[in-house]
Structure 1
């Protein structure tokens, strides 16, 4: 099943029965991931969870250019504060 991965390292010409190194050896073949599109507090929450692994209302508000209280209100039941530690989850 991985034959195409191995075959991608060279350009093989069936007519001349010759091979030359593929583009992976001379140029970038993998593009960096695109910047996330953040249109809502839920989008920003997903980005922050991906980047930091924890809920950070301050960073979510920063990404949205809005106030922290506004973001917490919009997220509603998607996040909650742990009463024992005070941390957001």
Structure 2
């Protein structure tokens, strides 16, 4: 292995989402995969149920677990007319 190659591979970082285990039980979609038809409908229902369910994860948490972009998850929720929670999380102590 060359010195240049060794230098570049030793500095790699693992993404935070790769370190966390699936907490919400949502399906992980591989990068670049297109969801259509029934697969898309199932994915949308799972995202909506997770966001409105008991755990109430943030859009960012759902995006990290599913491998989709924040804007994609936000778009799914707004197109389903789900009331989005305000930014910043819970304000109750």
More helix, by proportion: 2
Q: TM-score range by the shorter chain?
A: 0.3 to 0.5
- TM-score of the aligned structures, taking structure 1 as reference length: 0.38
Larger RCO: Structure 1 or Structure 2 (Cα < 8 Å, ≥ 6 residues apart)? 2
- Based on CA coordinates, which of the two structures has the bigger radius of gyration? 1
- TM-score of the aligned structures, taking structure 2 as reference length: 0.37
